[in-house]
Structure 1
Amino acid sequence: MRRVLTACGVAIAVVVMVACSPTRHVPDGSYLLDHVKIETSDKGVKPSDLKSYLRQEPNHRMFGLFRFSLGLYNLSGNDSTKWFNRWVRNAGTPPVIYDPMLMENSRLQMEKAMFNKGYMAARVEADTTSHGKRMDVVYRVQANEPHYIDDVNYQIGNDTLSRLIERRLSRHSLLKKGDNFDRNVLDEERQRISDILRRGGFYAFNKELITYTADTADRSKAVDLTLTIRPDSLVNTERYRPYERYYMHNIYFVLSYDPAAADRIDVSNAGMYKNYYFIEGEHPYIRRETLVENCFIRPGLLYSSRDVDNTYTAFGRLRIVKYVNIRFELAGQNEKGENLLDCYILLSEDKPQSVSLELEGTNSEGDLGFAVGATYEHRNIFKGSETFSTKVRGAYESLSGDLSGLINDRYTELGGEVGITYPKFLFPFLRTDFRRRMKASTEYSVNFNFQQRPEYTRVIWGTAWKYKWTTNRGFFRHNYDLLDINYVYLPHKTEGFLESIAPDNPLLRYSYEDHFIMRMGYTFYCSNLNPSNPVQRRTNVYTLRAAGEIAGNLLNAISHLTSKSQPEDGYTLFGIRYSQYAKFDFDYSITHIIDDRNSVAFHVGGGIGIPYGNSDILPFEKRYYSGGANSVRGWSVRTLGPGSYNGNNSVSEFINQCGDIRFDMNLEYRAKLFWKVELGAFIDAGNIWTIRNYEAQPGGQFRLNSFYKEIALAYGLGIRLDFSYFLLRFDLGMKAYNPAAGQEHWAIASQNFKRDSAFHFTVGYPF
């Protein structure tokens, strides 16, 4: 590993040195665009706001100093027939050659942007300075005094729209007196009004019907603004009336729609259910009830663009539906003179079933083994877009050598899982409207695993009943585990097995003893991340996760009611002492986007698990661990903590290096280098602690007056390969402060690579 890192360091140093001669491939008579700077005379106009209007920018500098990608390109020679030259040129970035035409275009674009922001007298000058074969460009923005909104008036001839816009919508108008006369804000106000009207029944309305008139006095910067709706006589046609509301008439579901077929749809043989019409063809692959429950557009109600969007979202959750399109057609007027619309929801079916197989082989010091797995999935098992899935896996490995005293002469594992997911909130006595609004799914699952090892035979069984739903237009996600049962049973084990592996360690014994967990949990997750929105990707991204779970309370209450007193060893179910605890977790992260190539990410998280009642200790699988690729990266996984506990052997001590309290804090700088390669530089802090003073974990208990001395520190560098759909991460962490007793605490003062380093390879960012 040391040789690999040394080689990487030498390679980076060579590229950096070459980057110090950036004009190597700049033709004679041309200039390398070295620096570009924007200066503004108004504090209200930030240079960063105008950077997007630059038509030419210098080569990217890593850490603001080294043009790494340009240096990589400069490693190439002039002979393009050699593969090495072609490779480094494709991986690197060619020098940006100064272009006076692009500079002038940038200047004009900035002036136009300033004009649109209300600075109509703004002037932008571009100055150039050459030194050798390099060119610096400075754009000086003279903003001058902006025009501002002095008054806002409305000129709306239609009485209905006048009442809506002037009396109701104007209260939340984006046009404020005293604000700059910003054309972008004017357009946003047009869109806001149009969206609200279309959500309120005005099907044919659009923002192009809204215009503005701006009036300014001579030599005055004050603008009297008039918002105008074009007169009825200029916009009404025989087909659409944009200033009138439309009501929904007939709603048709077309189940086997072919986009390549003719637009005309034959509705003469349509079936009917709950006032909806169905054109199902020869193969009605989905139940009518499911379609109605996921449709927010209802007969007799006002047209609403929000209902249309919600319907698209709801049908996008149905895995049997491959394609959905919603179309509207005029349907005349009713006896009240109200305008009517017919709605056609056009659907096409996806493949209902899929099967996948997995096969692997193993060789453990000459002992051969294999494993086979299969997964079957049906996306429409009961014709309601329910997803049924089943997984089976079997593994076998032969054993050689002395097998005396063992109960099995092989490793064998058989496992399976069966689950079904309903695309709705499945619970008795719930109204259809509630199920429609929740956009929820209900999951039921059962899993089983049978393991034969030389020393024991173990059976693991579990079942779960879960709900998942979203709110606030998908930005809030909720997971509610109504019931989650985990049962572990060891029917056979070698005589004295537990005493031989853990005579005095209750943590290790617990992993090989029978146990039963019946828990309930809730997880809340929110984020402003929207990968489908390219504009949003350039803004800061935050995520928040909070979770809580409890276990054993119901069983404990039943035990108290049915038993006179609690046994010394605790209450049992099926002869097994069940777990009782409460657990809470919190994580927050934010990524600050510096520019399109640089960002800084911060994460803080914590959690606590409290055993009580029928339990003296948390179940092993519910305890926290520290170290690893997503924690304090100066330590390997499960080698840090708890507290000042010193785990000398990562193999035998890992069972002790777990706790009931966790704390993590991370800061990471991320920079895009070239091609798919990114660089990460990070600082991590954190540790775990125990609630109680366990004999097997000396120094691990959380104490308010000393815990801060036991927070470990680490730093390091990482290389990431971003392939859009997934990211490979290689991180090298180094210990800076080691809280373990008997160890040199400030490791950074006398760094030892073998002792203080940890290498991590994983998929995805740490947070």
Structure 2
Amino acid sequence: MRKYPSYLFILLVVLIFASCSTTKFVPEGEYLLDEVKITSNKKELKTVDLQPYIRQNPNSKWFSVFKTPLYVYNLSGTKHPNRWYNKFFRKIGDPPVIYNTSEAGRSQDELRKAVQNMGYLSAEVDTLTHSKKKKIKLSYNIVSGKPYLVRNITRLINDAKIAKYLEEDSISSLLKPGMKLDVSVLDSERERIVRKLSNVGYYKFHKDYITYSADTVLNTYEIDLTLNLHPYKDKLSDAVLTHPQYRINKVGFITNFDLMQSSDIQSISVNDSLHYNNMPIYYKDKLYLRPKILTEASALKQGELYNASDVQRTYSNFGRLGALKYTNVHFAENASDSTLLNAYVLLTRAKDKSVSFEIDGTNSAGDLGAAAAVSFQHRNLFKGSETFNVRLRGAYEAISNLPGYNNKNYTEYGAEMNINFPRFLFPFVSSDFKKKIRASTEFGIQYNYQIRPEFSRIQASSNWSYKWQKKLGQQFRIDLLDINYLYMPSISDKFKNDYLDGENNYILEYNYKDRLILGTGFHYTYNSARFVGLGQQTNLDSYTIRFGIESAGNLLYGLSNLTNASKNGDGEYKLLSIPYAQYLKGDFSFARNIVVDERNSFAFHVGVGIAYPYGNAGVIPFEKRYFSGGANSVRGWSVRGLGPGSFAGDGNFLNQSGDIKLDVNLEYRTNLFWKLRGAVFVDAGNIWTIREYDTQPGGQFKFNEFYRQIAISYGLGLRFDFDFFVVRLDGGMKAINPEFKSGKERYPIINPKFGRDFAFHFAVGYPF
């Protein structure tokens, strides 16, 4: 009987929405635009690409099915429109879209022009309407005709230098015989030529200097295309000249540029200057960056041809300096020779120091606690835009349901410090290589001290890593040295007797001994998403690839073998009397976002990982092991609540970890209203161990069984997208539970129980 209230509630919501007339606010004699379709007689014409040319679209739909915003708007009353609840419904809902004949006519014209610009010069668009009661359905039928193809391509370039540059780069041309006469391709070719010439000195060249003329071949669908280069005209004398090439005359730096000032060099206030590598540096009162940092960040070189790519590299290089708030590269023509450019890099200083405080509430399986942290940041520590961070953290938690222990409190103290240099630091490396790679170098140390009723543990680590970007969207990271040291000052007798003695649990025993991890790693990320403006992503399909590999202990193991070092009682080599871990770990993930329309999209993700212990270790250290379940995994299970394999768990979170991981996720995302986004998702995955462990029965990966141990869940998500961050609420239900081999328990999707099968997740950011 407990199911009936929820079923009745769902039925009530459906009846409310069904009873709301979608035409409640549609005036008499007018129509609600209920549906818009685009059809074409050519498969090559994708209707999705033509959707932006529609001037009037129907009311938006949740998940491309339900016009919920319209339903919500129609919940408002007509008798008392100024009452607060009516205003509220109208504010969060969408008013009905009233069919407009003039907008339909504009859409018809825009579609016809768009298809003609794709090469179908004889294309026509018919508009059909079908009305019923106060609703209308609109259809645009495209009759494209045959496309016009380019037969011959001629280039009329009356400028010997430009003709030579384009001839050398002719293989990159987008114009090919046999291509459709596509206006977008023609325009892209103009932009390509501008990019090419702007990198070889043509500072003032723009695409309006390039035009096309097309002659149709009689009684055919073929066209002879001519690309024309227009000459340069002097503004003063109106004389026709060849296009001038510009060179960099000198490069200077103005370090105290005020954003409220004009970028006119003469109006900028400075009171001192110096020269470094023949480059003037102007400043006011005090120079806050070392001259070498400024000159190395500039890709502009005196005496060389103007190069737009060098300008962009200069922006990118200075953008990596945290000591700067704003950068602008200003060019001024030389008074005696207008083809010589004086380049000035205008820099605005950022605030050097900042302090922040954090206070958090914690809830670990019902145990409440609090944490506080204070952080200090200096963005220009050694006048080279080095970013220095120090963070101190403390936490306290009252532990319940832990019988047999005197102390019932958990205390944690932590400190970390790191410094980032915005340049590549390594001995015996040339300056040219450092400039070319443009990597940042980071050094860091961390310390964490945990005091629990069962034990006390100290974890100390340090790292030396490099980060850089090669192209837009590509990120690289090398962890040259990553050291982790685990030290157990004390372990209670009860914890030893219950978990560690008697070799009952090899994983627990391994992870509660002093341990050293000395590793290296490489990580690569590529994001195909295109960005415009202030980081807003355009409405295009995109994908992300992540790859990482790390290893530990190999060098130490080789040295131990060469020196015939002694082993401890567990058969492990040691460094300074501390056993060290040895393993190889690799991770790969792929995420794809497929845009359905401006409000809806599909998101797909697959992630795999494997960590293999060998040599000096029989187990992967806990910090490097995989777990499943939680907000970014299979969301029908709580965090660390799934696997490995068919293992049901024994209440010890260490045993619910593994060496192999698989995650597959599919989400349908939709914009609801205001900042709210919704999602329907299906997740699948699990973790497994490479070896068989007595305390993890059913957890070992076996090729003839693993596919039957893949867990599946489904659910709904609500996201608050505030542009700079996303707050996410996800509720997942188990669909297939690998803990059971058969029966109702294995397939909870058939017989769901909310208390048993539901998991709620709160997170920041999208899951993938």
TM-score under structure 1 normalisation? 0.92
Q: Within the alignment, does 1:523 sit opposite 2:494 as a pair? A: no
Q: Distance in 2 between matches of 1:511 and 1:684?
A: 30
Identity of aligned residues (%): 42
Matched residue SS, 1:477: strand
SS, match of residue 84 in structure 1: helix
Deviations 1:475-510, CA, capped at 9 Å, x for gaps: 211111111111121223334532234442232334
SS in 1 for 2:374: strand
Hey, what does 1:302 align to over in structure 2?
305
One-letter amino acid of the counterpart of residue 199, structure 2:
R
Query: Is the counterpart of residue 162 in structure 1 residue 152 in structure 2?
Result: no
CA contact (8 A) 2:231 2:241 kept: no
Corresponding residue SS for 2:597:
coil
**In the TM superposition, what is the alpha-carbon distance from 1:238 to its structure 2 partner?**
9.2
Shift in Å at residue 554 of structure 1?
Answer: 1.9
Q: What do the CA deviations read for 1:150-177 (whole angstroms, capped 9, x no partner)?
A: 2111111111112222x22333221222
Aligned to 2:129: 128
Aligned counterparts of 1:333 and 1:158: Cα–Cα separation in 2? 25
Tell me how far apart the structure 2 counterparts of residues 354 and 710 of structure 1 sit (CA, whole Å). Answer: 50
- The 5-angstrom pairing of residues 276-291 of structure 1 reads 276-291=279-294
Question: Aligned residue for 1:671?
Answer: 670
Residue 55 of structure 1: how far off its partner (Å): 0.8
Which position in structure 2 is the counterpart of 1:586? 588
Q: How does 1:349-748 map to 2 (within 5 A)?
A: 349-359=349-359, 371-395=371-395, 411-472=410-471, 474-503=472-501, 504-532=504-532, 537-569=538-570, 570-647=572-649, 649=650, 652-741=651-740, 744-748=745-749
Distance 1:754 1:443 in 2: 47
User: What is the CA distance between 1:760 and its match in structure 2?
Assistant: 1.9
SS for the counterpart of 2:672 is: strand
Relative distance call for 1:93 and 1:451 in structure 2 (3 A) is same
Give the conservation status (yes or no) of the 8 Å contact 2:233–2:240: no
C-alpha contact (below 8 Å) 1:484/1:519 kept by paired residues: yes
Measured after TM superposition, the shift of residue 718 of structure 1 is 2.2
Question: Which residue matches 1:264?
Answer: 265
Structure 1's 733 and 412: CA in aligned 2 closer, same or farther, altered over 3 A? closer
Letter in 2 for 1:84: Y
The aligned counterpart of 1:89 is: 90
Report deviation, 1:350. Answer: 0.7
**TM superposition shift of 1:68:** 1.4
Q: Supply the distance in 1 between the matched residues of 2:124 and 2:107 (Cα, whole angstroms).
A: 13
SS in 2 for 1:607: strand
SS in 1 for 2:652: coil
CA drift at 1:414: 2.7
Q: Cα distance, 1:144 vs. partner?
A: 2.3
Q: How many residues align?
A: 757
- What amino acid does structure 2 have at the position aligned with 1:596? E
Structure 1: distance between partners of 2:760 and 2:475? 34
Q: Aligned-pair RMSD on alpha carbons? A: 3.1
Residue 234 to residue 224, structure 1, CA distance change in 2 (3 Å): farther
Q: Which structure 1 segments of 5+ residues have no match?
A: none
More off after superposition, 72-81 vs 343-352: 72-81
For the residues of structure 1 that align with 2:47 and 2:506, how far apart are their CA atoms? 62
2:331 to 322, 328, 331: 328
SS of residue matched to 2:169: helix
Quote how far apart the aligned CAs of 1:610 are.
0.7
Secondary structure of 1:467's counterpart equals strand
**Amino acid corresponding to residue 664 of structure 1 in structure 2:** D
| Most deviating of 325-334 and 340-349 | 325-334
What is the CA distance between 1:358 and its match in structure 2? 3.1
More deviation, 145-154/341-350 = 145-154
Q: Is contact 2:318–2:324 with CA below 8 Å preserved after alignment?
A: yes
Q: Distance in 1 between matches of 2:611 and 2:4?
A: 43
Contact 1:332 1:341 in 2 (8 A): no
Q: Displacement of 1:40 after TM fit?
A: 2.0
**Alpha carbons of structure 1 residues 5 and 170: separation in structure 2 relative to 1, 3 Å:** farther
Evaluate the alpha carbon distance shift between residue 457 and residue 631 of structure 1 in structure 2; reply closer, same or farther with a 3 A threshold: closer
C-alpha distance in 2 between matches for 1:610 and 1:397: 35
Change (3 A) 1:745 1:435: same
* Counterpart position of 1:316: 319
Query: 8 Å contact 2:200–2:305 — kept in the other structure?
Result: yes
Identify unmatched segments of 5+ residues in structure 2. none
Residues 635-688 of structure 1, C-alpha deviations (whole Å, 9 max, x = no match): 2122211112122x5xx2322111111111112211223333333222221111
Q: Separation in 2 of the partners of 1:286 and 1:394?
A: 36
Report the AA paired with residue 721 of structure 2.
D
Query: Do 2:475 and 2:524's aligned partners in 1 also have CA atoms closer than 8 Å?
Result: yes
Distance in 1 (CA, whole Å) between partners of 2:542 and 2:51 is 21
1:137 aligns with 2:138: yes
8 Å CA contact retained: 1:293, 1:435: no
How far 1:745 moved relative to its partner?
Answer: 2.1
Structure 2 Cα separation of the partners of residues 287 and 4 of structure 1: 71
1:385 CA drift (Å): 0.2
Q: Residues 580-633 of structure 1: CA distance to partner in whole angstroms, max 9, x if unpaired?
A: 111111111101111111111111111111111111111011111111121112
User: C-alpha separation between the residues in 2 aligned to 1:138 and 1:610?
Assistant: 59
Q: Shift of the alpha carbon at 1:427?
A: 0.8
Residues 721 and 242 from structure 1, CA distance in 2 versus in 1: closer, same or farther, beyond 3 angstroms?
Answer: farther
Cα offset for 1:447?
1.4
Distance 1:81 1:575, change over 3 A: same
- Classify the secondary structure of the residue corresponding to 1:228: strand
The CA distance in 2 between the partners of 1:404 and 1:608, in whole Å, is 38
Query: Partners of 1:364 and 1:72 in 2: how far apart?
Result: 39
Would the aligned equivalents of 1:248 and 1:340 in 2 still touch at CA under 8 Å?
A: yes
Cα distance in 1, alignment partners of residues 652 and 636 from structure 2: 18
Deviations 1:541-576 (A, max 9, x none): 100111111111122222223335544421123332
Answering whether residue 278 of structure 2 is matched by residue 275 of structure 1, we say yes
Distance 1:15 1:585, change over 3 A: farther
- With over 3 angstroms needed to count, the CA separation of the structure-2 counterparts of 1:42 and 1:635, relative to structure 1, is same
Contact kept in structure 2, 1:236 and 1:242, CA below 8 Å? no
The 2-side partners of 1:602 and 1:96 are apart by: 33
Q: Cα deviation per residue 1:235-272 (whole Å; 9 max; x = unaligned)? A: 79699977232221210011111244452348996421
Contact 2:154 2:227 in 1 (8 A): yes
| 3-state SS in 2 of match to 1:761 | strand
Give the whole-Å Cα distance in 2 for the aligned partners of 1:397 and 1:513. 24
Q: Which residue of 2 aligns with 1:54?
A: 54
Task: Classify the secondary structure of the residue corresponding to 1:728.
Answer: strand
Residue 492 to residue 232, structure 1, CA distance change in 2 (3 Å): closer
* Alpha-carbon distance in structure 1 between the residues aligned to 2:99 and 2:734: 45
**Contact 1:15–1:72 (CA under 8 A) maintained in structure 2:** no
Contact 2:405 2:453 in 1 (8 A): no
Give the distance between the partners of 1:169 and 1:733, measured in 2 at CA.
55
d(CA) in 1 for partners of 2:301, 2:701: 58
Moved more, 38-47 or 559-568: 559-568
C-alpha displacement of 1:187:
1.5
Q: Kindly tell me: are residues 583 and 355 of structure 1, through their superposed partners in 2, closer, same or farther at Cα, counting changes over 3 Å?
A: same
CA offsets 1:64-91 (integer angstroms, 9 cap, x no match): 4421111111111122222111111111
Instruction: Indicate if the aligned counterparts of 1:727 and 1:763 stay in contact, CA closer than 8 A.
Output: yes
Q: Does 1:102 align with 2:100?
A: no
- Which residue pairs with 2:17 in the alignment? 16
The 3-state SS of whatever aligns with 2:381 is coil
* Contact persistence 1:659–1:689 (CA under 8 A): yes
Q: Which moves more between the two structures, 6-15 or 695-704?
A: 6-15
CA distance in 2, matches of 1:152, 1:644: 66
